[in-house]
Structure formats: structure tokens, C-alpha cells
Structure 1
Amino acid sequence: MSQEVLTRETNRRQLQQIIAGLSDGVILLELDQSILWANEAALAMHGVSRIGELGANADEYAKRFSLRYRNNHMVPPENYPISRVARCEVFSDVLIEVFTVDDPERVWVHSVRSMVLTDREGQPESLVLIMSDVTDWANAELRFEKTFNANPAPAVICRLSDLRYIKVNPGFLEMTGYTRDQVIGTSAYEIDIFEQAEKRDLAIQRLRDVATIPQMQAELRLPDGSSKQVIVAGQPLLLNDEQCMLFSFVDVELRRRAEVALRQSEERFATAFRLTPVPILICTADDQQIMDVNQAFLDSLAYTSDDVLGKTVTQLDFIDDDGARNRLLTALAKSSRVDRVDLRVRKRDADLLECAVSADTVNIHDVPCYLLVLMDITERKRTELELVSAIEEVMKDASWFSRTLIEKLANVKKINSPQLPSVSFTDLTARERDVLGLICEGLADKEIAARLKLAPNTVRNHVATVYSKLDVHSRSEAIVWARERGLFSGEWRTKGQR
């Protein structure tokens, strides 16, 4: 063995002894790409215990292990670090995922660099791969990446060394309409999230100090030129050994629009409430304390605001009948609304008004309230009473009225009875009126047929037609309908027989 070869082998043994105990993995290769030696750390990083399990050379290594970049793209065998160093390439910090062909679920992450050792004449003598196991770091980074992307709150990460965005999650892209390429690598000066912030100077100072930036309202400029109201906060973090700032956002644009719509709605309600000529009162639902009344209420009942506001409906005592007031409030508590209940309302000077009161339950500043609308029907009531009184006076002696006119007067008298059907007795034919009269006398269909000398089927048809026109469903309902209208009394039948 020549002295040169002996010296080279001695140097290799010394090199192996030096690196055997290192925590970094080291693989030595011959110039012909054969694997000469590997330390324990390198074997452990490949899940093997003997050098032979790595393969005899770079080609066999590629058959036993698959490599993948961190972007999930597979590494072609010719670009494996072991193949590159075999071509005497020098490189550093190549980050790859390594797994055996037989067990792709077990994955290591290596950070690999290469060295080419030369002899005295500068010619390549030994090839070295040096690798660090960064699996734990990569898994932690992967967990962070997944958490960051899955976070529903919009967020971006800015690298503080050059103030460029290095990460953005889907929430931010969805909120703003930016694409990932429009954000990643972009300067914080181009997408200035504090451009319209309410505490911009504080945010900039905290950014310089690498300190937490408290929540503040800002107006974020969007790619289409519009803007959006957001709440933004910043939190320092260390990412890949670099100082960064995590910015998280809350989209308050929908809330702002809702607030504007609510304010506009309240303004419209306030305007209508103030200007409507119908008296309106608003009170709380729980204790009926009066919160507001409109000018029409004050004018109609002769009150001032000081007389009314702050008192309860009971204390103001403007509803003349305590029982009617209690029934109104009970009905409101039970069904949330009432429609056109006739009540007497007392003015401040004790005069009484006849009112039709409608009420509903509304929420004002999240407080359940009753809204009472009072329609003054005093004149209408007075007119109707006078009309009914005149009709009753005339009908005391109606012998000289025609039968049709008396029936129409009777219908006018009953005009204020909303429970009565609107059909008139005169809507029946003469034969149908005869049949109804005999029903009111208590006769059965056969008896009616004998009295009127009609066939029983004909009588049944007439009875069905009468039920349909009167909107009743039985003889008893037909009799009640006729009696409520004062039809077929003894006096009427006598007059009808004249």
C-alpha cells in the first residue's frame, strides 16, 4: 500500500471517529457514488440500523427511499441530495421529507447540505452529506399552518425585517377579495391595514417595538377600490427564527350596515311617530311605564309631556274604565296585540272621548314595549246613536211602511253589530222567505211541504239555499239569525198577512 493511500485511509478513519458521535447525520460517499460510511445519527434518520440498509450506492438509495419537497412535489431521483453530491455539487439547507418505499406513513424531515473534500491538489477526494432531523420543527410548523388556515378569523403574518406579508389565511382572502398572490410578498406599505386606523400612530409604534397591538377600528382598502370596516389587532411571534407580527381581523362591515339600517329605520319611525295625527303612546311591557307619546296624544287629551312621561298607564288613569284597562293589558300580555277595542278615554279636563284602541308589542332598544294607537270615534258614535234612536222612534209605528223598507231600516239599526252577516232578508226570494218563516215556527220539512203544497225534495232544496245565503248550518242558527233581526214576530206575521 502506497504512503498516499495509507495517509488517505488514516484521514478517513480519523474523520469517521470525529463525526461518529455528532447529533447531525453524516454520510460519506466515494467518487463513484458508492456509500462508504454513515454515522448512527444518519442511520436513525432513515429508520435503519446498518449502512447496507441505505443501499450500496446512490441508485440503490433511490430505490429504497422516496423524497418529497415540502410543497408535496416528489423529488426526481436525479435531484436527490445523494445524487447531487455524487456530481460534486455543493448546496445547503435543502428541506425534504424522507420515507421508505415500503412504509410511506413514516416520514422524516431532513435539512441537508453537502461538502466536497479535496486533496492537496484541489481534486475531489471524499463526498459528504450532512443532515439535521427537523421533523419535530416541521410537524409543529405543519400544525401551525393547519391551525392558521383553519382559523375562521381573517389573518395575515408580516415579516418585520422587511415588512412583507409571508402568510395569509382563507378567511382574509374571503373577507377582502384579494388573491393569495396579491398578498404574499406584498409590502405592508402597499396593503396598509392601518391606513385609516383610529390609533394609527400607536399601531406603528407598537410595530416598531415588536409589541402587542391592541384592538382598534380601521378601514381596510379592498382590491376593487372600495373599503371595509374591520377591527384589527397584532400579536408578535417567532416564525422560522424570524420576528413576525400576526394580524387578525373582525369584519364589522355587516354590523355597521345593520347599525346604519337600524338607525335609519328608527329615524323613519320617530318621524312617523312624531308627525302622525293619530294619538300614540309607547309604554314598557313589564310595568307599563310611559316612555313616549306623540304630539297628537298631548293635543287630544290636553296633557303636557311632564304630565305623562315616567308615569305608568295606571297612574295616568286616562282609560275611563279600570276593568277595560286591565282587560286590554291582559290581552296584550297574552297575544301581543289587540285590534280596534272600543274604550272611553278621559282627557285631563275629565271630558270623555270614545276611542277605538289598537295595540301591538314592539322592541325598542331591546326592551319589549306596547304601542297603543287611539282613534277618536266620538263623533261617529254620536252620529250612529242619533241614527239608531231615530230609527227606533220611527219603527214604533211602522204600519204605513212597506215590508221592504222596514227590513232595510232594521238592517241599518244593526249596522254596528260586526258579528252579523251582511246578507239582507230581501236577498231571499219570496218562496225562500216563506220557508224561513215556517222554519222559525218550528215546522219540519214535511210540514212545510204540506203547508206550501210543495214536494219534499223542493222544500229541502229551498232550505239548503236559505242556509247558504244566510251562511248558517242548521235550523237553530237560521232561527237565531231571524230573531236577531226582529223577523217573524207575531206582529210582523200579522202585518205580513194583511
Structure 2
Amino acid sequence: MNQSVQQFQLQQIVSGLSEGVILIAPDQSIVWANDAALAMHGVTTIRELGADVDAYRTNYALTYRNNQTVVDGQAPIDRVVAGEAVHDVVVEVTRTGRDRADWVHSIRSLVLTDDDDKPECLVLTITDVTERYEAEQRFQSSFHANPAPAVICRLSDLRFIKVNRGFLEMTGYAHDEVVGRSVYEIDVLKDAERRDLAVERLHEGGTIPQMEACLRVPADESKWVIVAGQPIEMPGKVSCMLFTFADLEARRKAEEDLKQSQEQFEKSFQLAPIPTIRGRREGLTITDANEAFTAVFGYTAAELHDHRADELGLWVDGVARERFERRLKRDGTVRGFEGRLRASDGHEIDALISADTVAISGESWVLCTIQDITDRKRSEAELKKAIEGAMADASWFSRKILDKLAALRATPAILPPPGGLDELTAREREILVRVAQGSTDDNMAEEFGISRNTVRNHLTALYRKLGVNRRSAAVVFAREHGLIEGSRTDRSGRAQTV
């Protein structure tokens, strides 16, 4: 069989292959290329590909994957012509005049000889690996751009082959201090909570689940992280493990600060000299009490735990308790509420009660402080009694002194906070003002165009809301809260306009 027939048959065999095949004559002319080879160079004819090796070099620039430009005589086609065997050499192929590579080719060679063992035909077999290397490039770009710290370890020798900027910034290592070192030198699984499992999975090439670990890094003695491992395959079918990390330092610092803050709060709560209780805002259930509360009221924290004030009978007056709780639910805070509380042994305590809503560990709680004013109230009562006794025979007092004594009798040392006013309707507030100004029930009935019984009903309602039980006390309340100006009380306690 002559040479031309052999070449024709060879061409028929390879024309339908998916791999590209280029045949080169001993004189370096390109004699034939199958459709796959032409497509891999973006042409349809051999003339466009290049009539010979020199023309091919003119039309295409080749660069090895290590970014080293192919110099004259070192291109795969030149090396084959020179008789060198080429096996899976990977090059980037760029059309002349282009800025970036158009294809990535993997090339191997074959030399066909005649009966005398002389080169008769040189064959270049080309595989288009562009997609694979583009995918690798995308992985490389995303790996290095990803802010999440990561390293890649080769499973065959457990050495790190890649590291991204996130890992270097988190640990303080330099690139060359990581790449090439083993997992035993930079132990990314140190003090891991399930280290035995992680090491077993690493040697098996299996997935390592998320777990906490402590890295030794140049910047600090230790760095707490969450680490996880995912097996991946790198180019060349190299089995590797991708380790990713989440820095726990910020979270651990926040947890430590929160723990210290809670400890300080607990100490302040327990050591506060004022009786204090706390509980959940939802349902107003008491959960704890400090030592001062136990000393004054006799209840222990265990006796109070998970009970409401009404269940314990802590309030003497249920109406006052309901007013206090309504205001706390509405405003989230109460200041200086005056009420009477009952200790565990049954004795009653006059108190000023303040409460505020606070957030603890994401939950809404209530802190309530209680000031014992029993002695002060007793002193005020004794003072009033003494003044009333002195005023019983006041024929030798001047009018000015009588007015001052009357004011002392009616005004407590510390004025109670305005609270009942919030409960009054507009009509009840008007009637309170008229009462303080000295109007009678008949006067108000005529002024407002209502019956005398309706006036009395309004009076009963406002007495209940203000926590008073007689007309003179309502007058004092109105004066203390600035509802009238320029008035004084006579000996009977009735307000007189001046």
C-alpha cells in the first residue's frame, strides 16, 4: 500500500473523532486537520490555520499554563517537529492581535515512521479543555475573593496548597507561612470539640461537620473559630480538603461582656439597700427578691418565685394594686406610687413603690423598688394630730398663724405623685375643680344641667379613683395638684377664694 493511500485511510479514521488531529509532513507543512482541530482554532480551512509551522506561529500565540510565553522552537508543534515526544502539555492559545486567550488546549504527539523507521508523518492530538480551566479560574477567583477564611489541603500528604486572604487576615500568617506546611504544623483542628471525628474524616476524605476549634496564630495565643471541611477535587484529579472558618472572637467577646454585665447586675441587685424584686413583665410574675426585701418583708426568694403579688396577698388594698399594675402595663414605668403592703407575718407597711421595665437576655422584665415610709407616715399623722389639738383652742393665735397651721395639717411632707387624675373623666375633673372652689352639690347640678343624684354619683366615682373618702380630702388633693390657684382652707377645711 502506497503512502498516499495510507494517509487517506488515516484521515478517514480520525476525521470523525471529537479530539482535534493535525498532520504535519517532514518538511513542516501542515497537510491535513480534521474538523475538530479546525474548530478548536476558530477556522474552517487549513489555509486559515496555517500552511506550515511558521504560518501557524504567525497566526497563534501560545502560552504555557505557568504564564511563560512560548519562545521560538519551544511550541508543542516545534517540539514535535524536532522529534520530541509531547504528553498532555497544556497551553493557552490566543489569536494574533487578541488581548486574552481564546482556548486552552491539552496536546500530545505521535510520530509515524516508514518501514525504514524514518519519520513519515507527525501527528498532534488536541483536546479542548477550555471549559475545565475556565471553571478552575472561576474557582480560583471566588476562592481568593471570598471574605470567609479558607485553606485547601492536599489529602495525599496533608499539606496546604492554597490559602485565601480571609484566612491570612484572620490569623496573621503570611502566604508563604501557610502554603507547603502540613495540617500538623498549622493545626486547624486544634482543640476541636469533636477532634477525633474530624481527623478520621480528614484521613478518609469525608465531610467534616461544623465544630468549634482553637487555632494557634501569630497575632494571638489562640483564636476561636468554627471550622468545617468539604472534600473537593482540584485540577489533575488531585483529591483535597477545603477548610472554611468563621471567626468566633467577636461573638465570644460579646458573650464575655454580657456575662460580666449580668454578674454586675446580679451583685447590684442583691447588694442594693432598698428592697427590690424582679419578675416577668408578661403576667407580672415575681421571680426573685434581694436581701433587703427579705429583711423588711420576711419573704424569701424561693417563697416569692413564680407567684403574683395578688396570690401572695402582698397588697393590702386590691384597688391600689390594680391601679399600679394598669399604669405599669400602659407606661412601662411607675414612679413614687404610694401604697400599703403586707409582710409575711401580717404586719402592714406604708411604702413608696417604683417600677421600671428592663430587657435581660432578650426578655422583658420588671424591676420594682420599695421604700418603707411607715415611720414617716406615722410622724405626719402625729404632726397633724398635734396641730389639730393646738387649733382646737386657737383664740390666742393670730389669723396668719392659723392659716399656716391649716396648711401644715393639709399638706404632707412629700406630696403624693399625680396618679388618680389619669383615671378621671372630663366631667369628674370639672366637678373636682368646683368642689375645690367651694361649690355645693346643688350649685353644680344647676351649672351643669344635671340632677343632684348625678352629681353625687360623679363624686363617689372620683373619690374612689383618687383614693379619698371625704370632700375635704378631695379639696386638698386638688390644691396639691395645682387644679386651683389662690385658695386657702379655713378652720373647717373648706376652700375659700382670696
Whether TM exceeds 0.5 here: the answer is: yes
Query: Which one of 214, 219, 222 corresponds to residue 227 of structure 1?
Result: 222
Provide TM-score, normalisation by structure 1.
0.72
Deviations 1:49-78 (A, max 9, x none): 11111123455435544556657x584664
Secondary structure (helix, strand or coil) at the match of 1:161 reads coil
State the Cα distance separating 1:300 from its structure 2 match.
0.8
Determine if contact 1:67/1:74 at 8 Å carries over to the other structure: no
- The one-letter amino acid paired with 2:226 is I
Determine if contact 1:62/1:77 at 8 Å carries over to the other structure: no
Deviations 1:241-270 (A, max 9, x none): 121112222322222222222222222222
Query: Which one of 261, 266, 284 corresponds to residue 262 of structure 2?
Result: 266
- The one-letter amino acid paired with 1:483 is S
- The one-letter amino acid paired with 1:136 is E
Does 1:373 find its partner at 2:369?
Answer: yes
State the Cα distance separating 1:308 from its structure 2 match.
1.9
* Structure-2 change in CA distance of 1:378 and 1:415 (3 Å): closer
Determine if contact 2:155/2:240 at 8 Å carries over to the other structure: yes
Identity of aligned residues (%): 45
State the Cα distance separating 1:206 from its structure 2 match.
2.0
Q: Which residue number corresponds to residue 109 of structure 1?
A: 104
Deviations 1:172-204 (A, max 9, x none): 334323344433333222211112222323222
Q: Which runs of 5+ in 1 are unaligned?
A: 1-5, 421-476, 494-498
Query: Which one of 470, 473, 486 corresponds to residue 482 of structure 1?
Result: 486
Does 1:318 find its partner at 2:322?
Answer: no
Query: Which one of 346, 350, 353 corresponds to residue 354 of structure 1?
Result: 350
Q: Which residue number corresponds to residue 440 of structure 2?
A: none
Partners of 1:233 and 1:83 lie apart in 2 by: 48
State the Cα distance separating 1:405 from its structure 2 match.
11
Q: Which residue number corresponds to residue 290 of structure 1?
A: 286
* Structure-2 change in CA distance of 1:404 and 1:169 (3 Å): farther
State the Cα distance separating 1:388 from its structure 2 match.
5.2
Q: Which residue number corresponds to residue 164 of structure 2?
A: 169
* Structure-2 change in CA distance of 1:109 and 1:411 (3 Å): farther
Does 1:25 find its partner at 2:20?
Answer: yes
Partners of 1:128 and 1:62 lie apart in 2 by: 17
Deviations 1:286-312 (A, max 9, x none): 122221112221221122344322222
* Structure-2 change in CA distance of 1:221 and 1:47 (3 Å): same
State the Cα distance separating 1:226 from its structure 2 match.
2.5
Determine if contact 1:398/1:406 at 8 Å carries over to the other structure: no
- The one-letter amino acid paired with 1:95 is V
* Structure-2 change in CA distance of 1:234 and 1:404 (3 Å): same
* Structure-2 change in CA distance of 1:479 and 1:245 (3 Å): closer
Q: Which residue number corresponds to residue 179 of structure 2?
A: 184
Deviations 1:317-356 (A, max 9, x none): 2122222222222222222222222221111222221222
Q: Which residue number corresponds to residue 138 of structure 1?
A: 133
Q: Which runs of 5+ in 2 are unaligned?
A: 419-480
Q: Which residue number corresponds to residue 281 of structure 1?
A: 277
Partners of 2:343 and 2:482 lie apart in 1 by: 44
Q: What count of residue pairs does the alignment treat as equivalent?
A: 430
Secondary structure (helix, strand or coil) at the match of 1:370 reads strand
Determine if contact 1:236/1:245 at 8 Å carries over to the other structure: yes
Does 1:251 find its partner at 2:255?
Answer: no
* Structure-2 change in CA distance of 1:120 and 1:225 (3 Å): farther
* Structure-2 change in CA distance of 1:98 and 1:325 (3 Å): farther
Deviations 1:137-176 (A, max 9, x none): 2233334445544555432221101211223334333432
* Structure-2 change in CA distance of 1:371 and 1:213 (3 Å): same
State the Cα distance separating 1:377 from its structure 2 match.
2.1
Partners of 1:186 and 1:418 lie apart in 2 by: 76
Determine if contact 2:487/2:496 at 8 Å carries over to the other structure: no
Q: CA RMSD of the aligned region, Å? A: 4.2
- The one-letter amino acid paired with 2:238 is E
Determine if contact 1:68/1:96 at 8 Å carries over to the other structure: yes
* Structure-2 change in CA distance of 1:33 and 1:311 (3 Å): same
State the Cα distance separating 1:11 from its structure 2 match.
7.1
State the Cα distance separating 1:14 from its structure 2 match.
6.5
* Structure-2 change in CA distance of 1:337 and 1:170 (3 Å): farther
State the Cα distance separating 1:235 from its structure 2 match.
2.3
Provide TM-score, normalisation by structure 2.
0.72
Partners of 1:398 and 1:83 lie apart in 2 by: 136
